[in-house]
Amino acid sequence: MAQPFSFSKELFLRIAEESGLGTDSSHLDSLYAYLQGVLPGLRTIENLDLADAEPFMPLLMKKE
Amino acid sequence: MDANELCYLSAGQLGRLIQKKEVSPVEVIEAHIKRAESLEPRLNSFIAFLPEKAREEARRAEKEILAGRSKGPLHGIPLGLKDLYYVRGIPNTAGTKIFKDFIPDFDSTVAARLREAGTILLGKLNMHPLAYGPTGENPEYGHMHNPWNTECITGGSSGGSGSAAASGQCTLTMGSDTGGSIRIPSALCGLAGLKPTYGRVSRYGLTTLAWSQDHPGPLARTVEDCALVLNAIAGYDPNDPVSVPLPVPDYTKALLGTIKGLRIGVPKEYFEVPIDGNVKEIVWKGIRKLEELGATVTEVSWSMYPHAAAIANTIQMAEATAYHKKLIKERASEIWHPVRLRLEAGFFISAVDYVQAERARALFFEQSLELMKKVDLLAGPTVPVTAFKIGTNEVKIGNRTTKAIPLLTQYTRPFNINGFPAISIPCGFSNDLPVGLQLAGRPFEEETVLRAAHVYEQATEWHFKRPPI
C-alpha cells in the first residue's frame, strides 16, 4: 500500500526555489494548494506491483 | 443551393458535388466565409481568420478542377486547423498571445498533406492555451462557445475546432489529443472526432504538450469525413521519430462493411466512476443499437483502468513542464493562471515518479492488448456529462460534487497512454446537448473503429441534427 501522502511546505518551498519559480508568496501559496489537490491522486501508482515492468517504449509498439 | 445548406454538407457530399462541377470551390468558400463572419462574434472559434487567402486558393482550385487537374475528394473543401499546426507564414499562437509573433517558416506535415489534398485553409482555430486543459476556455483570445448552447463550454483543448465544425463554419477541422482534446469537444459539440493510433499521423510541426501522448486527428460532422482526412494525413514521416512505417489503407473502403459478428466489450469499470444518469442511459442505448446492428456486446473487466489518470497525469505533467521550461522561467506571469499552475506543478514530479509512471504504463499497455484479444472494440461514454457552463469548476452528479477537469478526461485518457485509436460519435442528446459514444480499437486498426462508427451513424440520425445558431 502507498504511504499516506505528505508534502511539507518546507519541501515545497525548497523545490520551488531550486526550480526558479519566483518568490511571490501569494502565488506560491496557490501553487502549494494546487499540488495538495493533485499529487495525492498520482500516488495511486504506488499501489501497483511494478516488479517485472520496464518503462513503456512507444517506439516498440509495432514496426513491421 | 442555399449558402447555409452548403455549410452543412459533409466533405464527402461537397467533394462529390465539386468533382461533378455542380458546385464551385469559390461558391463553397464564400458561403463559409459569410457564415463564419456572422457566427464568429458569438462563438469565437478562430484565432486567425484568413478569408482573402481562402478566396485566392478557392479560385485556384476552381481553375484546376475545371482544367481536369483534380487533387481528389478533398479538393476545394474548407478546413480549419487548431492554432498549433505550423503553417508557413501564418502566426502559430498555441492559444496564447505570448506566441502571437511566432511565424513558422515551414509547414507541419499534416498541414502540408492537407494542402496537397486540395483543402482550403479558412483559418487557425481557437484552443485552450498551450492545449493544456479540456474545457476550451481561453481568456486571452476569448472563451470558445458551444453552438448548442453558447453559455456552455465546447470542451477542449481543440474547442475552436469543435465549435467551427459543429456550426458549419468549416467542413473539416483538425485538433490534437493528449488527454482527450479531439474526442471531448467532439462529444460536447455533437461531432465525429478521431484520435488515430500513436505513430499513425505525424506530429511534426505541432506545438508539443506531451510528446508521448500527443496525437493529431480530425473533427468533422461525419465518420466518412474522418476517413477522408485520415487518408490524406496518415503515413510515415521521417521528420517524426515515432512515426510508424506501415502501409496506409483506403479508410473509406472500410466504411463499406458490416459489423455482424464484431465483438464489443464494455468495461464494467466505466460505470464505477461518476457519470450523469441521462448520459449513461443514452450511451447504453447506443451500445444496444450496435448490438441490434449485428455486434456482440459483452461486459469486460479492465482492472488497470482506474490507474489510467494517475499514469497519464504524471507523464503529461513532467513532459509538458520539460517542454515549456524556458517559457515558465522567463514568462510565467503571462501564462493564464490555471495553465501556469499545471505547468509549474510538473517541477514537483521527480525522475523516479516519471519512470514509475512509465513502468505502470507498460503494464497498462500489456493489459490493454490482452483485453483486445477478447474483443475487437471497447465501447463506452466519451465524456460522463454534457457541456456545462463556462467558468464551472465543479459538477454535481447526483448527490456528489466532482471536479470538472478530471471528470472530462476520465474516459479518454486511457487511450492516450496506450496509444490505441479511438473515435467519439454523437449518440443522443440530454437537455438539448449532445452526448458522445467512444469506440476504441487495437493499434493501427482504425478501419474497424471507423467501420463500426459509420455503421452506427448510418443507422441513426444524430449527425443530421444542427445546433440552434
DSSP string, B182-245: THHHHHHHT-EEEEPPTTTB--TTB--S-TTT-EEEEEESSHHHHHHHHHHHBS--TTSTT---
**Residue A7 binned pLDDT confidence (cut-offs 50, 70, 90):** confident
What residue has cell string 455549410?
A: B7
Per the CB < 8 Å rule, is A59 touching B242? yes
Q: How many CB atoms lie within 10 A of CB A53?
A: 18
Q: How far apart are CA B197 and CA B238, in angstroms?
A: 17
Chain B partners within 8 Å of A62 (Cβ): 199, 244, 246, 443-444
Cell of B319: 513532459
Helix H or strand E segment including B395: strand B394-397
**Residue A2 binned pLDDT confidence (cut-offs 50, 70, 90):** very low
Q: B405 with B316: CB under 8 angstroms?
A: no
Q: B442 with B374: CB under 8 angstroms?
A: no
**Residue A64 pLDDT greater than 50, yes or no:** no
The proportion of chain B whose per-residue pLDDT surpasses 90, expressed as a percent, equals 99
Q: How far apart are CA B424 and CA B180, in angstroms?
A: 10
Q: A21 with B330: CB under 8 angstroms?
A: no
Per the CB < 8 Å rule, is A21 touching B198? no
User: Minimum mean pLDDT among A7-21, A50-64, B120-134, B409-423: which range?
Assistant: A50-64
Residue length of chain B? 469
B residues 389-408 closer than 8 Å to A (CB): 406
Residue A3: what pLDDT?
53
Nearest to B246 by CA among B423, B74, B454, B447: B447
Contacting residues for B368 by C-beta, under 8 A, at least 6 apart: B302, B414, B418, B420
The domain limits of chain A are 1-45
**Residue A57 binned pLDDT confidence (cut-offs 50, 70, 90):** confident
Is the bond preceding residue B157 a cis peptide, omega within 30 degrees? yes
Contacting residues for B207 by C-beta, under 8 A, at least 6 apart: B84, B86, B92, B94, B130, B131
Identify the sign of the CA torsion B205, B209, B212, B217. negative
How many CB pairs below 8 Å do chains A and B form together?
Answer: 98
Across the interface, of A19, A45, A61, the residue whose CB is closest to B443 is A61
Residue A60: what pLDDT?
52
pTM, entire model? 0.97
Backbone angles phi, psi at B378, to 5 degrees: -105, 140
Cell of A5: 501522502
**Residues in chain B where the model's pLDDT stays below 70:** none
Q: Tell me if chain B has a CB within 8 Å of the CB of A29.
A: no
Q: B92 with B84: CB under 8 angstroms?
A: yes
How large is the angle between the packed helices B11-19 and B223-233, nearest 10 degrees? 70
Q: How far apart are CA B3 and CA B134, in angstroms?
A: 33
User: Minimum mean pLDDT among A28-37, A51-60, B233-242: which range?
Assistant: A51-60
The complex scores an ipTM of 0.91
Residue A1: what pLDDT?
44
**Residue A63 pLDDT greater than 50, yes or no:** no
Chain B partners within 8 Å of A45 (Cβ): 307, 310-311, 314, 353, 356-357, 360
